[in-house]
């Protein structure tokens, strides 16, 4: 581990929920004794109104994870959760019986809905909710517009991403992912500045289609990355031929991208050829992909990418910073 003097002043990362939260905890662990700031631009495409409340799964996974109050086994929701209210909602036949809102989690959704109804934007609401804990990072929603990720499962039908993923366990073949309303959306306050002012920009090992990809659908964000002075370094969510968690494989196949560490890098593209990436970390088992990536204009390195502990994840983050230093940006 390099001395903290080698750390950049400002790190900005794009992130989904479960994988992004574990990665953010590792980045924070790496910078814990330094003056480095961490800003996380978080996917809001999984968000939904449920029982009159605004549920933001990825923002909540990031907040609970950084607060240390998350259910580490499930990767989402609160530790020590109970589901008494949810059982009542099911008994009344309201809401979605396939999407369980825990009692503690409902506290977040009630507070968020109240603050939104008071006229605050989601960025301010997220800041208000986060103030309860010392997260060691700033959470920003990608946009304050309600742009859902929906999955086309047949000619006439699209499902909210959560219904596809949770209710149907991603078993219905996804023909495409659509983001209705994205064209009219704008980045949330602070997002473009966090990209512009960053010294290093990281793409967390989140789902490249429905998490990072949904963030990139918001007009202005992909262009801001291409124009950023900071190096853009991604970490592969695919180790070998499978994702560590979640359903990135089904999503990549749906858009015709190869399900491999190199395939995801090519999906994002090399910044020098109009894409997003200056560098890409692959797991040691995918070391043979490094040469091809370098030839394609993407600096690459093979390091352990399994996020077991904060120390291991901090090492991944350090490897990403080392790679950033090699890109000459």
In the complex, what is the shortest distance from the CB of residue 170 to ligand FO1, in angstroms, rounded to a whole number?
10
> Pick from 174, 154, 155: which is nearest to 164 by CA?
174
Least distance to ligand FO1, CB of residue 10, Å? 27
DSSP classification of residue 230: S
Which tokens hold the place of 95?
A: 């809401």
* Rg of the Cα atoms in the chain: 19
DSSP-assigned letters across all residues of 103-170: HHHHHHHHHHHHHHHTT--HHHHHHHHHTTS--SSEEEESBSS----EEE-SSS-EEEHHIIIIISTT
Nearer to ligand FO1, 103 or 258 (CB): 103
Q: Cβ-closest residue to ligand FO1?
A: 57
Q: Which is nearer to ligand FO1, 166 or 224 (CB)?
A: 166
Q: With respect to ligand FO1, which residue has the nearer C-beta, 17 or 205?
A: 17
Map residue 49 onto helix, strand or coil.
strand
Q: Interface with ligand FO1 by CB under 6 A: which residues?
A: 16-18, 46, 55, 57, 60-61, 76-77, 99-101, 105, 162, 165-166, 246
Please identify, using beta-carbon distances, which residue of 77 and 275 lies nearer to ligand FO1.
77
Q: Provide the minimum distance between the beta carbon of 36 and ligand FO1 in the complex, in angstroms, as a whole number.
A: 27
What are the residues whose beta carbons fall under 8 Å from the beta carbon of 302, sequence distance 6 or more? Answer: 281, 282, 283, 284, 286, 287, 289, 290
Sign of CA dihedral 304, 309, 312, 318: positive
Query: What phi-psi label fits residue 24: left (phi over 0), alpha (psi between -120 and 50 degrees) or beta?
Result: alpha
The owner of tokens 């124009």 is 227
Any idea of the CA torsion for 202, 208, 213, 216, to the nearest 10 degrees?
20
Name the residue nearer to ligand FO1 (CB basis): 61 or 318.
61
Residue placing its CB nearer to ligand FO1 in the complex, 46 or 286: 46
Give the list of residues 6+ apart from residue 301 with CB closer than 8 angstroms, or none: 279, 281, 282, 290, 319, 322, 323
Cβ at position 62, least distance to ligand FO1 in Å: 10
CB of 73 to ligand FO1, least distance (A): 12
Q: CB of residue 165 vs ligand FO1: minimum separation in angstroms?
A: 6
- Could you tell me the smallest distance in angstroms from the CB atom of residue 58 to ligand FO1? 6
CB of 194 or CB of 251, closer to ligand FO1? 251
């Amino acid at each position: 581990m390099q001395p903290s003097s080698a750390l950049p002043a400002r790190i900005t990362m794009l992130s989904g929920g479960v994988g992004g939260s574990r990665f953010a905890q590792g980045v924070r662990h790496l910078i814990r004794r330094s003056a480095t700031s961490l800003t996380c631009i978080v996917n809001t495409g999984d968000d939904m109104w449920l029982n009159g409340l605004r549920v933001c799964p990825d923002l909540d996974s990031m907040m609970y994870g950084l607060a240390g109050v998350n259910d580490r086994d499930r990767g989402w929701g609160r530790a020590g959760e109970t589901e008494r209210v949810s059982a009542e909602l099911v008994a009344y036949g309201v809401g979605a019986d396939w999407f369980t809102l825990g009692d503690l989690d409902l506290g977040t959704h009630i507070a968020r809905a109240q603050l939104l109804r008071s006229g605050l934007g989601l960025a301010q609401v997220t800041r208000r909710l986060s103030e309860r804990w010392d997260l060691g990072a700033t959470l920003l929603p990608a946009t304050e517009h309600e742009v859902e990720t929906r999955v086309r499962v047949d000619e006439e039908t699209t499902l909210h991403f959560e219904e596809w993923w949770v209710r149907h366990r991603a078993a219905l073949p996804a023909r495409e992912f659509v983001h209705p309303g994205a064209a009219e959306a704008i980045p949330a306050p602070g997002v473009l500045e966090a990209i512009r002012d960053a010294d290093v920009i990281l793409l967390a090992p989140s789902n490249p289609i429905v998490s990072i990809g949904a963030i990139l659908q918001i007009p202005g964000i992909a262009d801001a990355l291409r124009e950023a002075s900071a190096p853009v370094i991604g970490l592969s969510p695919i180790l070998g031929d499978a994702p560590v968690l979640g359903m990135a494989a089904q999503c990549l196949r749906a858009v015709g991208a190869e399900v491999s560490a190199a395939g995801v890098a090519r999906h994002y593209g090399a910044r020098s050829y109009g894409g997003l990436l200056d560098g890409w970390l692959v797991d040691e088992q995918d070391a043979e992909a490094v040469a091809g990536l370098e030839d394609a204009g993407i600096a690459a390195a093979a390091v352990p990418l399994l996020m077991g502990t904060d120390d291991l994840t901090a090492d991944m983050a350090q490897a990403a910073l080392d790679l950033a230093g090699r890109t000459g940006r």
